[in-house]
Amino acid sequence: MAAATSITFLDLPQIEQRLEGLDLVGLMEDAFAAFSRGEAVVPAPGELLFGDPPGEVHIKYGYLTGGDTYVIKIASGFWNNPAIGLSSSDGLLLVFRKATGELMAVLNDRGRLTDLRTAAAGAVSAKHLAPASVDAIGVLGTGIQAELQVQMLQSVRPCRNVVVWGRNPERASAYAKRMRRKDFNVDIARSSAEVAERCRLIVTATASAAPLLHWRDIRPGTHITAIGADSADKQELDEAIIRNADIAVTDSRSQARSRGEIGHAYGDNRSAADRIVEIGEIVSGTVRGRSAEDQITVSAFSGLAVQDIAMAAAILKQS
């Protein structure tokens, strides 16, 4: 009888150590490109939605056809957690040997890898779609992604000026204080429309069920990275933004048809949704990104298991 495979268990401090020196933006570019080349098997994600208290759990899984493992990721978001001293996100990744189904590793990252890969995906989007020069980064939202997206953007569009809007003024004020301690200059906007007026690079990072940005507010030359609407019940952008943008990009056309901004904009119109560009196609060079300064571009991501696969593989290669 063959000996049982030893299981690697990494907790958050060990994972943080292995994250040092990793090029997360490059890692996500490679992951998106592999997905768009058809080199990943990524079924539709599973999800649990909760009303009281409000929250959600996403289950994403898949494998690279040329790899030797498959990954199952469980990630949660419970929006009231910060009020009781807990992070709004949590989760872990399970890594299995593809040839035998044996559990190889447990990455008890408490949601950290999901947070980082999501922020890195936003940076990939900005790298290929945002204006070359950015005077201020607009942010809708005041949570973890509202911070991480701005920090990760520094590697592709360096800018220390932030204009933030949040539905809760107290949370917006707290966000501004946290970011100022990280040497960002932060203004609190009175409305989401003010953010659109002042910024040409905008990140939306909320769990909104109704549009926060409208086409009438968007000025030429703007890029929007929308990362909050990762399920069918969420929407941060009005449908006209997706339909009228010069370039509309997603992470997965098949996944986008049933959730978030693309699903709201096109519903059952599969032929229209299929015209949306995948970020992996832009990274690979098969489709062009921004080509003129006055273009309006938008990326609407719902998160792919291929990102989690890439993160897990990179962490396990580190020592």
pLDDT the model gives residue 304: 94
pLDDT the model gives residue 4: 59
Residue 85: which region, alpha, beta or left (left: phi > 0; alpha: psi -120 to 50)? left
Positions of the chain with pLDDT lower than 70, given as ranges = 1-4, 270, 273
Distances 177 to 14, 116, 150, 173, 189 between C-alpha atoms, Å? 29, 21, 14, 6, 14
pLDDT the model gives residue 126: 98
The bridge status of strand 277-278 relative to strand 247-250 is parallel
- Indicate the class that CATH gives domain 118-303: alpha beta
Domain 8-113+306-317 homologous superfamily, CATH: ornithine cyclodeaminase, domain 1 (3.30.1780.10)
pLDDT the model gives residue 305: 95
Domain borders along the chain are: 8-113+306-317, 118-303
Q: What is the pTM of this model?
A: 0.93
- DSSP lists the bridge partners of residue 188 as 164
Read off the pLDDT of residues 176-200 as tens digits, 9 standing for 90 and up.
999 999 999 999 999 999 999 999 9
CA-nearest of 62, 56, 60, 57 to 39 is: 62
What is the C-alpha to C-alpha distance for residues 195 and 202, in angstroms, rounded to an integer? Answer: 8
> Per the structure block, which two tokens stand in for 154?
């520094």
pLDDT the model gives residue 150: 98
pLDDT the model gives residue 2: 53
